Amino acid sequence: MKFVHMADMHFDIPFTVLNRRNKLGEQRRLEQRGAFKSIIEYIKNNKIEYFFIAGDLYENEYIRKSTIEYINNLFKEIPDTKIYITPGNHDPYINGSMYKTVKWNDNVKIFTNNIEMVENEDCNIYGFGFNDFYCGLSDVQDIVIENKEKINILITHGTLNGSTIEDMQYNPLNKTKLKQMGFDYIALGHIHKPDYNNEENQRIVYPGSPISMGFDELGKHGVIVGELTKENIKLEFLQIDEKEFKEKEIDISNLNNIEELIEKINDLKLEDNIYYKLILTGDKNFEININNLFKYINNENIIKIKNNTKLKIDIEELSKENSLRGLFVKEILEEMQKENYNKETLENVLEIGLNILSNSK
């Protein structure tokens, strides 16, 4: 049997960070729709029998009915493909949800928090979906496979081997227990980074999100394409996202003023299909205001700038000065000795204060 495994599309997510830069959030939503259409085209062209969507297909808070109609119309283009959806923590099966209020195409099966098994000629498919925005415990790991002679597949949304309190709120699952259950493939969602073929004969898989949601999701994004028999499994990653989020460091130690920094940024040779986060590093000789900096940057693919630079001064020596500046630096140093001080805030206060004192001479 052949399948495509997808999760975490998050249709109609606001893309807040992108919207700060020339309303690119709307562009990203168009790319999101295009990515999903590409998945459907792949399924159609390759006669894929099964399509697994392991949660967070859309954002419950923001989803529009027109978007659901777009999704459902695409499902109609692959009538011979069986589509299985397990709602996640962002699109739970709750009263008023699109899963309950919309008539989905005939080839779509939506699982709920009542674990079900759907019997097909070549496989049995088990599914569990969220019925709330959180799921502390589920009966997923208590499933007993009815017919171990057939191919058995589990689809759900959850956290594998989570170690934090937050992890425990999203259907926590134990990898060892899942392996012991005897499923031939476990299609997971929730983690936006792909996890496949990292161990021999891997059958517990995260496809990652089909498109990146931002700079906390670097690298390539797409879906898993699988071919499965009772004896063998073959998994491939199909890149879907045509854009990629990347970080690029710029050392400003040899720059003398903000104008030189702007020129350096505008002279960068950047790829068109990449969204960039610039990270400024090194010792700085001038004040940097990120918001003002954006006003003079030509490349719209530069979405975010983070200032990781340090003041090029010896604050220990400055604190010994018998002057107002010395007294100010000494106060800052004393604050830095306190437990749980905010390093970034104090460094910003120090920089602004020294600029003010220098300009008042």
Res 359: pLDDT: 59
Q: Which residue has the tokens 């975490």?
A: 8
Q: What is the pLDDT of residue 22?
A: 65
pLDDT tens readout for residues 185-233: 999 999 999 999 999 999 999 999 999 998 889 999 999 999 999 999 9
- Boundaries of every domain in the chain: 2-239, 244-359
Counting every residue written for the chain, the total comes to 361
Q: Which pLDDT score, from 0 to 100, does residue 197 have?
A: 95
Indicate if the pLDDT at residue 354 is higher than 90.
Answer: no
Is the pLDDT higher at 163 or at 357? Answer: 163
pLDDT value for 138:
93
**Pick from 183, 226, 190: nearest CA to 209:** 190
C-alpha distances out from residue 58 to 32, 78, 89, 123, Å: 11, 20, 10, 27
- Looking at residue 274, what is its pLDDT? 92
d(CA 26, CA 16): 10
Q: Which of 2, 86, 85 is nearest to 42 (CA)?
A: 2
Q: Provide mean pLDDT across the span 126-152.
A: 96
Is it the case that residue 313 has pLDDT exceeding 80? no
First-to-last alpha carbon distance for the chain, in angstroms, is 77
DSSP string for residues in 289-322: -HHHHHTT---TTEEEEEE--EESS-HHHHTTSS
Alpha-carbon distance of 18 to 78, in angstroms, equals: 32
What pLDDT score was predicted for residue 319? Answer: 85
Mean pLDDT of 61-76: 97
- Which residues, 6+ apart, have CB-to-CB distance to 119 below 8 Å? none
Q: How confident is the model at residue 358 (pLDDT cuts 50, 70, 90)?
A: low
Residue 26: what pLDDT? 87
CB contact at 8 A, 59 and 10: yes
Q: Three-state SS for 259? A: helix
| 261-278 pLDDT, tens digit each | 999 999 999 998 899 999
Q: How far apart are CA 49 and CA 312, in angstroms?
A: 62
**Cα–Cα distance between 122 and 152 in angstroms, integer?**
9
Tokens representing 30 are 């168009």
pLDDT score for 310: 82
The reported pLDDT for the residue numbered 361 is 52
pLDDT value of residue 30 = 93
43-60: pLDDT as tens digits: 999 999 999 999 999 999
- Burial class from Cβ neighbours inside 10 Å (0-12, 13-18, 19+) for residue 308 reads exposed
CATH superfamily of 2-239: Metallo-dependent phosphatases (3.60.21.10)
Nearest to 67 by CA among 6, 10, 7, 133: 10
